[in-house]
Structure 1
Amino acid sequence: MANNPTMPPASADDNPLLFINQKPNVELQNQNRSRRFTGSSGRSINKELESEPINDYSSVISIDMLYSNGSSSNELTNYPLLLSFNNLSYSVKVGQKLLPDLPFFGSQDDVKKTKLLLDDISGVAREGEITAILGASGSSKTTLMDAIAGRISKQRLKGTVTLNGEVLGSKLLKIISAYVMQDDLLYSMLTIEETLMFSAEFRLPRSLSKEKKRKRVDALIDQLGLRSAAMTIIGDEQHRGVSGGERRRVSIGVDIIHDPILLFLDEPISGLDSTSAFNVVKVLKQIAKSGSIVIMSIHQPSHRILSLLDRLIFLSNGQAVCSEAPSNLSQFFGAFGHRIPENENQAEFALDLIRDLEDSPGGVSTLVEFNKSRQYSKRDLDEPKCELKDAIKASIVKGKLVTTGTASNDDIGSDLTSSVQTYANPFWIEMMILSKRLMINSRRMPELFVVRFATVFAAAVITAGLYWQLDNSPRGTQGE
């Protein structure tokens, strides 16, 4: 395999954790000792590297074995990941029970109706790109993303989801992916740094020292652009804290602490102002460029946000009506017979046109068929360029998948699941982490702790009073 001169080797600039846990070349040790890593705010992430040699070569994953077959870093990093979903269809039973289950009245499935939520949807998502799923409310955006992320029962889901040509199993998908929910579920009295540190203690392997977990948190804070607010509490209605955009970025950080290959986000900019939404998508763009596949649902992007997206999938009643790059929307709809006017938001034009077609007698069937014909003509461009095992090797070289722990050369790739522990920490350590988090949050909100304690105490007194001094006589039993 020839080296690709256009692809630089993976460095600590891509992910500081890679350099921290990789044994440096002896000839370059002096250079590595004086190297500094700085985030977007200019703050040094690893100051001690300026004057001290790296003596701890225990790695998050064994990097040296990746080159045991003579492959260079350039070769491994030239393996792009390609996620494909083909002919996805999903239906559910709707309706209420009209009759009890009796032998002569048939099964209840005969009474219920079947609703098709996904109808033969196919598409691709590439490494380094953001794929956005657009559509009106009720168009099955979240359902499609859940189907790709493996969050839907496979008994009712038809079709396949593959990564570089290999079907994704549920265990492998859990290891290499992260799913960010629409709602922000954070402890209000914890700071951003504490929130991400608790996530690191939960999700990163226990073989990783606390110092290295903290360095991972520092690198993530800089990646999310939260350095200036790192020591600010999350806040709630009664306590002033971070802004809505910063809160959303913290939620993303909690789920990507292990630096996943696949990142799914459900309406990540919902409820945010234009500037905050743009900053969130900019962070997602940086995450994608670091070697991840980012898939998110979005309602109606602005022109600035649209410029950051790489691939759009428009849905209508569970059908894919357009799967194009933003730069190709004008050509797509022009070929369909509806030219997009100049200075018009192309995404808004597409959504308005789709809504008009839904209200027409013929519906969107013609647009669906037109989109399928366009995708069929490009099918040769959507073929994976390497095997999944090699692609995952390349991702690990770039510093992805911190949760993989130490593994051998044969464990990486399709057999990655066998080298990863089911739980990052034993039960008693998780209980200690949860108790510590609860105590910190309660100590900073004493009024809430007092109210909860008083409520529990009052309920205990009332319950005890009901059974106070009851005897075993019939009268006492009746009193019980």
Structure 2
Amino acid sequence: MHINCIMPKPENQGCNNTLQDLPTMLEPIFPITLKFEEVVYKVKLEDIKCKEKTILNGVSGMVFPGEILAMLGPSGSGKTTLLSALGGRLGGKLLCGKITYNSLPFSGTIKRRTGFVAQDDVLYPHLTVFETLLFTALLRLPSTLAHESKVGQVERVVAELGLSRVRNSMIGGPLVRGLSGGEKKRVSIGQEMLINPSLLLLDEPTSGLDSTTALRIMTILKGLAEGGRTVITTIHQPSSRLYHMFHKVVLLSEGRPIYYGSASSALEYFSSFGFSTSLTMNPADLLLDLASGIGPESKHAMEQGEAMEQEKKQVRETLISAYENNISTRLKSELCNLETTTYPWKKDTSNIARINTKGEQWCTSWWHQFKVLVQRGMKERRFEAFNRLRIFQVLSVAFLGGLLWWHTPESHIEDRVALIFFFSVFWGFYPLYNAVFTFPQERRMLIKERTSGMYKLSSYFLARTIGDLPLELALPTAFVFIIYWMGGLKPNPIVFVLSLIVVLYNVLVAQSLGLAIGAILMDIKPATTLASVTTLVFLIAGGYYVQQIPPFIVWLKYLSYSYYCYKLLLGVQYQQNDTYPCIKMGNKWEWCKVVDVPAVKSMGLDHLWIDVCVLGLMLVGYRLLAYLALQRVR
């Protein structure tokens, strides 16, 4: 059989416009028969040059609508990798084989008809169950569907998955009390059910759940399969009750298949080779033991050492040989002869032909995606942006600073200059540190939603950055209002407004750098370390602490946004010809020029528009860098 490498498809945005005719009950429109033949997947080992490790090695099978296929095997056997390959989430020259959906290759339209539930429930903790499902529906269902219909679809999914009791409860997270593990899993399944999928893939849907909750989840999946969906799931160690719900089983051992067929026939198959037990046990336990190389009557099962490893190797070789001789040949023949228009559960297959790869497009417009993402972001982050600790932190610093600089006399110009520099420093590092966490914290959510084709990266990026502006700019505005007047700076409304604008401008630039650092590293620890080093360097080179920087490193200050903010604030507060009382002679003051003050003289008060433009370039450049870095996230 000729095997073609599955080349990576361009990121798809296909949409199924027929969803505008969503039925009252969730019934799939397009049944999908999935075939996978001789799937091989390898990864390059980073520590060994030109060395590859085989994760999957010649896995084949087929799943019909109405069936549940379970992938069993010990940890590291390749279950999740195979599931990702079947869901179109693996690509490149290292993935080879043939995977078809009704004899068609993976495409945007098929992607839109495929639901993928990851092992971990990636959900926003501060949204309710209904809000979570509603925002998913607004992003994943086509714009041709009325808003009321999307809400109705959400209500139907909530009812079908038994979530009505907790529909208005928060999802919850590490710091927020919310749903139980089983309820979160049902919400994750519900997100995929909203698109009315024909193919549903689930990675360890019962992981971490008690037996009763796991049974309820599998009962829901069985009901979905009976409605005509093709369901494929990985599962680590199912109970006997769960095992008997499966129609077919693929058993993997170190990436190689050792069984494919009916779940009810597995024990009989292995018994024919002498792998049977006199004990009454869960069939899944026996299969997992065999996949691990442990025979049912093994004398070394609890031992470690060379004898055990040799026995495991012999068991695996026997099972692999048996698979090649008894299953592989027959399976290849069935796959070659399979007519995708033949379905054991449904005679009318006229809808099959309607699946095609033409007319691939985003289900919703860019503007619609942007609006929905802004609304969702505001709802999710309203608790984070205006939490009591953050408000107390900013306001307490403002009042304390105002008391320390309380009505600073005009003659104490050094103190006034220090206050101006404090503006640029505090609102240089504070927004930067907050922004560094933005994308690393949302990395898993971004990967999940973009892999599902929910929105364009540009709509997400602008919504995430622009939607934060009202929240991010409110606190610095309050800060400036407090400390400016308490500190005794120029009581001129125009000067005050200009100073506020410069501070807010600096906040946006600092935030942009933080977003870029977070997007490039996508790891909180190294990102915060780099942010600490960057802010420290910018602080030192900001023009206040070191006024005469050596020529060979003077270029460093021109990279510091704190330098430009400090200079602009000085330029707003003082003019070239301004004077201040510097020396008191009896009852009279001698007046000196402001530009002669060393701290001001080293900065200068001219060419302010150049500084505005440089900050503008930094603002655009850092955000563009962050956007380009996010494109690498897969």
Under a length normalisation based on structure 2, what TM-score does the superposition of the two structures give?
0.54
* Mapping of residues 364-379 of structure 1, within 5 Å: 364-375=316-327, 376-377=329-330
Structure 1 residue 90 corresponds to structure 2 residue 41: yes
Partner in structure 1 of residue 79 of structure 2: 141
Partner in structure 1 of residue 231 of structure 2: 294
Pairwise CA distance, 1:92: 2.4
The question of whether the paired residues in 2 share the 8 Å contact of 1:128 and 1:292 is answered with: yes
Pairwise CA distance, 1:161: 0.9
Pairwise CA distance, 1:304: 1.4
The question of whether the paired residues in 2 share the 8 Å contact of 1:265 and 1:297 is answered with: yes
The question of whether the paired residues in 1 share the 8 Å contact of 2:143 and 2:365 is answered with: no
SS of corresponding position for 2:358:
helix
* Cα separation, partners in 2 of 1:424 and 1:81, compared to 1, 3 Å: closer
The question of whether the paired residues in 2 share the 8 Å contact of 1:80 and 1:385 is answered with: no
The question of whether the paired residues in 2 share the 8 Å contact of 1:189 and 1:445 is answered with: no
Bigger fraction of residues in helix: 2
* Mapping of residues 135-174 of structure 1, within 5 Å: 135-164=73-102, 166-174=103-111
Pairwise CA distance, 1:377: 3.6
C-alpha separation between the residues in 2 aligned to 1:371 and 1:204?
43
Pairwise CA distance, 1:314: 0.8
C-alpha separation between the residues in 1 aligned to 2:231 and 2:178?
28
How many pairs align?
Answer: 385
- One-letter amino acid of the counterpart of residue 438, structure 1: G
The question of whether the paired residues in 1 share the 8 Å contact of 2:19 and 2:141 is answered with: no
Partner in structure 1 of residue 357 of structure 2: 417
Structure 1 residue 201 corresponds to structure 2 residue 175: no
* Cα separation, partners in 2 of 1:151 and 1:386, compared to 1, 3 Å: closer
Q: What RMSD over aligned residues (CA atoms) do the two structures have, in Å?
A: 3.8
More deviation, 117-126/349-358: 349-358
- One-letter amino acid of the counterpart of residue 373, structure 2: L
- One-letter amino acid of the counterpart of residue 367, structure 1: L
Cα deviation digits, residues 316-367 of structure 1 (max 9, x gap): 0111011132211221111121224353101101211332167524241221
* Cα separation, partners in 2 of 1:371 and 1:424, compared to 1, 3 Å: same
The question of whether the paired residues in 2 share the 8 Å contact of 1:340 and 1:346 is answered with: no
The question of whether the paired residues in 2 share the 8 Å contact of 1:150 and 1:173 is answered with: no
- One-letter amino acid of the counterpart of residue 186, structure 1: L
SS of corresponding position for 2:267:
helix
- One-letter amino acid of the counterpart of residue 62, structure 2: V
Tell me which of 303, 309, 318 is aligned to 2:255: 318
Query: Identity across aligned pairs (percent)?
Result: 31
The question of whether the paired residues in 1 share the 8 Å contact of 2:58 and 2:256 is answered with: yes
- One-letter amino acid of the counterpart of residue 94, structure 1: L
The question of whether the paired residues in 2 share the 8 Å contact of 1:263 and 1:292 is answered with: yes
Pairwise CA distance, 1:256: 3.0
C-alpha separation between the residues in 2 aligned to 1:169 and 1:329?
30
* Mapping of residues 22-171 of structure 1, within 5 Å: 81-96=32-47, 109=50, 113-164=51-102, 166-171=103-108
- One-letter amino acid of the counterpart of residue 68, structure 2: I
C-alpha separation between the residues in 1 aligned to 2:241 and 2:196?
26
The question of whether the paired residues in 1 share the 8 Å contact of 2:37 and 2:98 is answered with: yes
SS of corresponding position for 2:182:
helix
Structure 1 residue 228 corresponds to structure 2 residue 157: no
SS of corresponding position for 1:150:
coil
The question of whether the paired residues in 2 share the 8 Å contact of 1:149 and 1:173 is answered with: no
Pairwise CA distance, 1:200: 0.4
The question of whether the paired residues in 2 share the 8 Å contact of 1:81 and 1:126 is answered with: yes
C-alpha separation between the residues in 2 aligned to 1:346 and 1:22?
40
C-alpha separation between the residues in 1 aligned to 2:261 and 2:380?
46
C-alpha separation between the residues in 1 aligned to 2:136 and 2:19?
22
C-alpha separation between the residues in 2 aligned to 1:190 and 1:393?
43
The question of whether the paired residues in 2 share the 8 Å contact of 1:81 and 1:384 is answered with: no
C-alpha separation between the residues in 2 aligned to 1:394 and 1:213?
28
The question of whether the paired residues in 1 share the 8 Å contact of 2:72 and 2:252 is answered with: yes
Pairwise CA distance, 1:372: 3.4
* Cα separation, partners in 2 of 1:388 and 1:124, compared to 1, 3 Å: same
Cα deviation digits, residues 289-318 of structure 1 (max 9, x gap): 222111111100011111221111111011
* Cα separation, partners in 2 of 1:167 and 1:317, compared to 1, 3 Å: same
Structure 1 residue 437 corresponds to structure 2 residue 376: yes
C-alpha separation between the residues in 2 aligned to 1:370 and 1:302?
26
The question of whether the paired residues in 1 share the 8 Å contact of 2:107 and 2:357 is answered with: no
- One-letter amino acid of the counterpart of residue 255, structure 1: E
Q: Report which structure shows greater RCO (CA 8 Å, sep ≥6).
A: 1
- One-letter amino acid of the counterpart of residue 326, structure 2: R
C-alpha separation between the residues in 2 aligned to 1:419 and 1:266?
30
SS of corresponding position for 1:336:
coil
Cα deviation digits, residues 251-294 of structure 1 (max 9, x gap): 12113321111111111211111112111111111221222111
Structure 1 residue 456 corresponds to structure 2 residue 424: no
C-alpha separation between the residues in 1 aligned to 2:279 and 2:115?
38
Cα deviation digits, residues 80-117 of structure 1 (max 9, x gap): 642111111122222536xxxxxxxxxx53xxx22221
SS of corresponding position for 2:71:
strand
